[in-house]
């Protein structure tokens, strides 16, 4: 049984199509993210699920039942808004009690449930506080508690961390994941930040220009992107343009515009010799030195500079064809022998090299 | 330190004209009025200090009945203005497309371009026995003879609501404008019906604007002169008419001043009572956090 299903959902604003034939199925109790650049239609999709916009076509089912005819207040999906939309004229307790009151719960019930949910989010003593007396992270948790106290089938979150500063965002990522486990409710999370999506989600849908490009686990998206957009949007990548020379056994030999020959795993992508292609390689798949094996690409160059960022440190290598390549290095290892100006031999497996047909430009 | 002094000085300089204006045009005349109201005339140009004017007011029921009546009618007008103004303000601030908001707002101000007097005469042209409405009704055959629509309380109330409703709409639009639409959506999303959202979210949010609008409208109505006199005629029994009468017709400045002080005191008291009864504070109206 799926908690939430969308079938061929489409939304047009006049001639403009904001959401274009999107289908998704979210199993109960999972954390599902929609990841896409600004303006790709994520909020529109979520507003249709919440009932604030009517789809132009397609169907939305919650727990297997179509909700197209139900107004927003009759759908058991609750939403955490981008700017939280906590009610400023009510205190924290009243904010959380609002939904219960709308349902006509008894006073005793309300008091008990509000207390219990505040306990769960780890803020047992704030019920009497005013909203403006809370910190950013606390507001965040209250906004979630206000929805969770109603035990929704699905919780929708529209970039709820967008307004927070970086440090807090990092902490809230982990906290959100823990909260989702604790409440054991399906979360549909919208973000344009790939690290949020990768860290928290069981499944991620990558969205671009109103369409889903790929749905999969974070690992699948990272290691086996199915389109050039996904390869470029999820995680960091080195990227080349080139022309396909030869194809055999799902491997394409491509000559880059700089003149290097790179063999890439072209799997399902429909490439044929003579096509122009885009090549993607993750910095963390590239290694320095080592022995050349049959199944590896090799490039030589010199180390241009080092970008220290703890465990995410990078070396920029200028290869002989003048292009810069990012290579992951172990920045924590102080005995790291790599210095700017050193000659560098880079190699990485064919299997770690993705290629896709290049968009006509 | 130096900067702080400079700041204080510039603040003082900025405030000076304002303070002078308040002092010379508002505080001093009021004090003067209070002074006059406390005089008793004992002979030609001979006065003593005393409360006789206030006593006279209390002893003459027609005076304080008029004051009470004015207050009650003003409360009614305020309430009606809120009833009429709120939907208009809500439409301008929340429903109308963004581009037409300013235009609609300006449209609301159009009646202000015409002077009070002309507006009141406009109503007279419409409503008098030989006026447009009476004529039209006769022409369609709904009524037989001409009817007089002027000189009754309903007409006065309608005329006053029309005059003051703008001053209700302006503060309401500005508070409602500040309300994020996502608050409304959150209200619906959490299970609230339209009525619940209106009652529990829109009204509490707009409360500062409602309070401000009601105070302005109430004070304006209670202190208005032209509309009640022209539309209500002799039996309008508006308190400002009494004040005018004392000052101008009877040339009894002491009594007129007393009435003026009483009007100010009484309307202030009504506002205070209204704030108390609805649990609002003046401070939240002015300073919003
Ligand atoms: N009411 C509307 N009328 C016309 N166009 C709209 C409307 N709402 C959204 N759009 C358009 O639909 C597209 C998608 O908007 P949407 O708000 O869903 O983007 P988003 O993916 O949430 O972006 P962001 O990450 O910036 O929030 C945008 O190009 C926007 O201009
Ligand atoms: Mg959005």
- ipTM strictly over 0.90? no
Quote the CA–CA distance of A263 and A352 in Å, as a whole number. 10
CA of A56 from ligand 1 middle (Å) equals: 15
Which of A24-38, B86-100, B184-198, B270-284 has the weakest average pLDDT?
A: B270-284
User: Do A135 and A223 fall within a single domain?
Assistant: yes
CA of B213 from ligand 2 middle (Å) equals: 36
Asked if pLDDT for residue A340 goes beyond 90, the answer is no
CB A140 within 8 A of CB A160: yes
Asked if pLDDT for residue B127 goes beyond 90, the answer is no
User: Do B165 and B224 fall within a single domain?
Assistant: yes
- Residues A279-298 have a mean pLDDT of 82
Q: Per the domain annotation, does B86 fall within a domain? A: yes
User: Do B24 and B144 fall within a single domain?
Assistant: no
Tally of domains within chain B: 2
Which residue is it, tokens 């003003």?
A: B74
Burial B216-233 (b: 16+ CB within 10 A, else e): bbbbbbbbbebbbbbbbe
Closest of A89, A95, A97, A10 to residue A45, by C-alpha: A10
User: Do B6 and B82 fall within a single domain?
Assistant: no
Residue-wise DSSP of chain B: -HHHHHHHHHHHHHHHHHHHHIIIIIIHHHHHHHHHHTEEEEETTEEEE-SHHHHHHHH-HHHHHHHHHHHHHHHHHHHHHHHHHHHHHHIIIIIS-HHHHHHHHHHHHGGGGS-HHHHHHHHHHHHSTTSHHHHHHHHHTS-SS----SSSHHHHHHHHHHHHHHHHHHHHHHHHHTS-HHHHHHHHHTT--HHHHIIIIIHHHHHHHHHHHHHHHHHHHHT--HHHHHHHGGGG--HHHHHHIIIIIS--HHHHHHHHHHHHHHHHHHHHHHHHHHT--HHHHH---
User: Do A46 and A127 fall within a single domain?
Assistant: yes
In chain B, the residue whose alpha carbon lies closest to the alpha carbon of A156 is B189
Quote the CA–CA distance of A33 and A47 in Å, as a whole number. 15
Closest of A4, A36, A5, A2 to residue A19, by C-alpha: A36
Q: Per the domain annotation, does B44 fall within a domain? A: no
Q: Per the domain annotation, does B145 fall within a domain? A: yes
- The pair of three-digit structure tokens given for residue A12, joined into one six-digit string: 């047009």
- The pLDDT of residue A291: 65
* DSSP tag of A181: H
CB A256 within 8 A of CB A321: yes
Atom of ligand 1 nearest to the CA of A42: 21
Quote the CA–CA distance of A178 and A161 in Å, as a whole number. 15
Q: Which of A87, A142, A155, A188 to mutate to test the interface with B (most CBs of B within 10 A)?
A: A87
Distances from the Cα of A324 to the Cαs of A229, A352, B44, in angstroms? 21, 19, 105
Chain-wide mean pLDDT for chain B? Answer: 88
User: Do A133 and A44 fall within a single domain?
Assistant: yes
Q: Which of A229, A249, A279 marks a domain boundary? A: A229
User: Do B59 and B145 fall within a single domain?
Assistant: yes
Do residue A83 and residue B182 have CB atoms under 8 angstroms apart? yes
Q: Whose CA is nearest to atom 20 of ligand 1?
A: A39
Q: Which of A211, A229, A247 marks a domain boundary? A: A229
Task: Give the pLDDT band (50/70/90) at residue A361.
Answer: very low
Quote the CA–CA distance of A257 and A215 in Å, as a whole number. 32
User: Do A203 and A290 fall within a single domain?
Assistant: no
User: Do A61 and A113 fall within a single domain?
Assistant: yes
- Residues A351-356 have a mean pLDDT of 87
Which is higher by pLDDT, A275 or A98?
Answer: A98
Asked if pLDDT for residue B285 goes beyond 70, the answer is no
Atom of ligand 1 nearest to the CA of A36: 21
User: Do B1 and B65 fall within a single domain?
Assistant: no
Closest of A38, A72, A39, A36 to residue A54, by C-alpha: A72
CA distance B197 to chain A (A): 9
User: Do A76 and A187 fall within a single domain?
Assistant: yes
Shortest CB distance from A102 goes to which of B185, B191, B207? Answer: B191
Q: SS3 for A237? A: coil
User: Do B17 and B113 fall within a single domain?
Assistant: no
- Report the CATH number at residue B126: 1.10.3720.10
Helix (H) or strand (E) holding A10: strand A2-13
Q: Per the domain annotation, does B97 fall within a domain? A: yes
Asked if pLDDT for residue B3 goes beyond 80, the answer is no
pTM (2 d.p.):
0.81
Helix (H) or strand (E) holding A179: helix A166-183
In chain B, the residue whose alpha carbon lies closest to the alpha carbon of A144 is B190
- The pLDDT of residue B288: 45
- Residues B229-256 have a mean pLDDT of 88
Share of chain B above pLDDT 90, in %: 42
Burial B9-31 (b: 16+ CB within 10 A, else e): eeeeeeeeeeeeeeeeeeeeeee
CA of B184 from ligand 1 middle (Å) equals: 19
Half-sphere exposure of B31 (CA within 13 A, CB side): 7
Chain-wide mean pLDDT for chain A? Answer: 89
Distances from the Cα of A30 to the Cαs of A43, A185, A197, in angstroms? 20, 7, 13
- The pLDDT of residue A128: 92
**What domain range includes position B18?**
1-37
Determine if ligand 1 sits within 6 Å of the CB of residue A269. Answer: no
- Report the CATH number at residue A306: 2.40.50.100
Asked if pLDDT for residue A224 goes beyond 50, the answer is yes
Q: Whose CA is nearest to atom 17 of ligand 1?
A: A43
- Residues A238-246 have a mean pLDDT of 88
Tally of domains within chain A: 2
Atom of ligand 1 nearest to the CA of A37: 25
Closest of A204, A158, A157 to residue A183, by C-alpha: A157
Quote the CA–CA distance of A158 and A44 in Å, as a whole number. 10
User: Do A175 and A303 fall within a single domain?
Assistant: no
Measure the CA dihedral A144/A146/A151/A157, to 10°: -40
Which is higher by pLDDT, B13 or B75?
Answer: B75
User: Do A212 and A245 fall within a single domain?
Assistant: no
Determine if ligand 1 sits within 6 Å of the CB of residue A39. Answer: yes
User: Which residues lie below 8 Å from residue A18, measured CB to CB, with a gap of 6+?
Assistant: A11, A12, A41, A44, A210
User: Do B133 and B57 fall within a single domain?
Assistant: yes
Asked if pLDDT for residue B232 goes beyond 80, the answer is yes
User: Do B88 and B165 fall within a single domain?
Assistant: yes
Asked if pLDDT for residue A55 goes beyond 50, the answer is yes
CA of A208 from ligand 2 middle (Å) equals: 13
- Residues B224-240 have a mean pLDDT of 87
Asked if pLDDT for residue B87 goes beyond 60, the answer is yes
Task: Give the pLDDT band (50/70/90) at residue B286.
Answer: low
Q: Per the domain annotation, does B42 fall within a domain? A: no
- Residues B124-153 have a mean pLDDT of 84
- The pLDDT of residue B182: 92
Q: Per the domain annotation, does B229 fall within a domain? A: yes
Q: SS3 for A7? A: strand
- The pair of three-digit structure tokens given for residue B240, joined into one six-digit string: 């400002």
Contacts of B200 in chain A (CB under 8 A): 98
B244: phi then psi, degrees, rounded to nearest 5: -55, -45
Asked if pLDDT for residue B113 goes beyond 70, the answer is yes
Task: Give the pLDDT band (50/70/90) at residue B217.
Answer: very high
Task: Give the pLDDT band (50/70/90) at residue B284.
Answer: low
Q: Which of A207, A229, A251 marks a domain boundary? A: A229
User: Do A282 and A198 fall within a single domain?
Assistant: no
Which is higher by pLDDT, B64 or A164?
Answer: B64
Half-sphere exposure of A357 (CA within 13 A, CB side): 11
- Residues A278-292 have a mean pLDDT of 83
- The pair of three-digit structure tokens given for residue B163, joined into one six-digit string: 């005059």
Quote the CA–CA distance of B186 and B233 in Å, as a whole number. 52
User: Do B219 and B260 fall within a single domain?
Assistant: yes
Q: Per the domain annotation, does B45 fall within a domain? A: no
Shortest CB distance from A89 goes to which of B189, B192, B205? Answer: B205
Shortest CB distance from A73 goes to which of B188, B200, B201? Answer: B188
In chain A, the residue whose alpha carbon lies closest to the alpha carbon of B201 is A87
Q: Whose CA is nearest to atom 23 of ligand 1?
A: A39
CB A244 within 8 A of CB A278: no
Determine if ligand 1 sits within 6 Å of the CB of residue A191. Answer: no
User: Do A16 and A77 fall within a single domain?
Assistant: yes
- The pLDDT of residue A221: 92
CB pairs below 8 Å between A and B: how many?
A: 61
In chain B, the residue whose alpha carbon lies closest to the alpha carbon of A47 is B185
In chain A, the residue whose alpha carbon lies closest to the alpha carbon of B185 is A52
- Report the CATH number at residue A145: 3.40.50.300
Beta-carbon neighbour count of residue A339 at 10 Å? 9
Determine if ligand 1 sits within 6 Å of the CB of residue A192. Answer: yes
Q: SS3 for A119? A: helix
Which residue is it, tokens 């009025």?
A: B33
CA distance A106 to chain B (A): 16
- The pair of three-digit structure tokens given for residue A289, joined into one six-digit string: 């030195």
User: Do A168 and A245 fall within a single domain?
Assistant: no
Share of chain A above pLDDT 70, in %: 96
User: Do A260 and A352 fall within a single domain?
Assistant: yes
User: Do B159 and B277 fall within a single domain?
Assistant: yes
Determine if ligand 1 sits within 6 Å of the CB of residue A18. Answer: yes
- The pair of three-digit structure tokens given for residue A302, joined into one six-digit string: 């010199």
| A111-152 per-position pLDDT tens digit | 999 999 999 888 888 999 999 999 888 998 899 999 999 999
**What domain range includes position A264?**
237-357
- The pLDDT of residue A16: 94
Strand order of the β-sheet with A2-13 is A16-27, A2-13, A57-62, A65-66
Asked if pLDDT for residue B83 goes beyond 90, the answer is yes
Beta-carbon neighbour count of residue A62 at 10 Å? 20
Task: Give the pLDDT band (50/70/90) at residue A258.
Answer: confident
Q: Per the domain annotation, does B46 fall within a domain? A: no
Determine if ligand 1 sits within 6 Å of the CB of residue A210. Answer: no
User: Do B60 and B14 fall within a single domain?
Assistant: no
């Amino acid at each position: 049984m799926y908690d939430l299903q969308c079938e061929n959902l489409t939304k047009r604003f006049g001639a403009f199509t904001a959401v274009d034939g999107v289908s998704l199925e979210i199993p109960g109790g999972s954390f599902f993210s929609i990841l896409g650049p600004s303006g790709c239609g994520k909020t529109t999709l979520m507003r249709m699920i919440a009932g604030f916009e009517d789809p132009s076509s397609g169907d939305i089912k919650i727990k297997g039942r179509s909700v197209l005819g139900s107004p927003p207040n009759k759908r058991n999906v609750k939403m955490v808004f981008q700017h939280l939309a906590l009610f400023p004229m009510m205190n924290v307790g009243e904010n959380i009690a609002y939904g219960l009151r709308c349902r006509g719960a008894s006073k005793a019930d309300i008091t008990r449930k509000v207390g219990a949910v505040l306990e769960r989010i780890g803020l047992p003593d704030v019920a009497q506080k005013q909203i403006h007396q809370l910190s950013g992270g606390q507001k965040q948790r209250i906004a979630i508690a206000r929805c969770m106290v109603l035990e929704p089938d699905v919780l929708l979150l529209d970039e709820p961390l967008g307004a927070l500063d970086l440090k807090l965002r990092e902490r809230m990522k982990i906290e959100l994941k823990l909260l989702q486990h604790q409440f054991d409710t399906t979360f549909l999370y919208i973000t344009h930040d790939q690290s949020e999506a990768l860290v928290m989600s069981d499944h991620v849908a990558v969205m671009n220009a109103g369409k889903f490009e790929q749905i999969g686990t974070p690992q699948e998206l990272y290691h086996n992107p199915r389109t050039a957009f996904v390869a470029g949007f999820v995680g960091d990548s080195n990227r080349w343009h080139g022309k396909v020379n030869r194809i055999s056994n799902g491997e394409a030999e491509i000559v880059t515009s700089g003149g290097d020959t790179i063999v890439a795993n072209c799997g399902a992508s429909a490439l044929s010799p003579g096509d122009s292609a885009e090549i993607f390689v993750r910095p963390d798949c590239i290694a320095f030195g080592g022995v050349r094996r049959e199944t590896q690409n090799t490039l030589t160059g010199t180390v241009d500079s080092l970008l220290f960022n703890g465990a995410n440190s990078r070396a920029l290598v200028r290869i002989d064809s003048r292009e810069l390549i990012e290579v992951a290095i172990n920045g924590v290892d102080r005995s790291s022998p790599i210095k700017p100006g050193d000659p560098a031999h880079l190699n990485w497996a064919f299997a770690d090299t993705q290629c896709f047909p290049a968009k006509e430009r | 330190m130096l900067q702080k002094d400079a700041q204080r000085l510039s603040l003082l300089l900025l405030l000076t004209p304002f303070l002078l204006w308040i002092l010379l045009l508002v505080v001093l005349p009021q004090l003067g009025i209070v002074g006059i109201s406390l005089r008793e005339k004992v002979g030609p140009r001979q006065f003593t200090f005393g409360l006789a004017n206030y006593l006279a007011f209390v002893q003459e029921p027609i005076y304080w009945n008029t004051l009470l009546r004015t207050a009650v009618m003003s409360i009614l007008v305020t309430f009606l203005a809120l009833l009429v103004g709120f939907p208009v303000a809500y439409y301008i601030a929340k429903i109308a497309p963004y581009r037409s908001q300013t235009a609609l707002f300006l449209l609301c101000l159009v009646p202000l371009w015409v002077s009070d007097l002309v507006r009141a005469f406009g109503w007279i042209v419409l409503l008098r026995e030989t006026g447009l409405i009476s004529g039209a009704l006769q022409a369609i055959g709904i009524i037989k003879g001409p009817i007089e629509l002027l000189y009754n309380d309903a007409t006065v109330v309608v005329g006053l609501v029309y005059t003051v409703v703008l001053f209700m709409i302006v503060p309401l639009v500005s508070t409602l404008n500040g309300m994020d639409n996502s608050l409304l959506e959150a209200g619906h999303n959490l299970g609230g019906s339209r009525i619940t959202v209106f009652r529990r979210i829109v009204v509490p949010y707009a409360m500062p604007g409602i309070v401000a609008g009601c105070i302005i409208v109430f004070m304006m109505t209670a202190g208005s002169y032209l509309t009640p006199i022209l539309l209500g005629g002799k039996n309008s029994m508006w308190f400002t008419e009494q004040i005018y009468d004392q000052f101008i017709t009877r040339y009894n400045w002491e009594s007129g001043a007393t009435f003026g002080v009483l009007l100010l005191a009484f309307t202030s008291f009504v506002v205070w009572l209204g704030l108390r009864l609805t649990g609002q504070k003046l401070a939240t109206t002015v300073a919003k956090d």
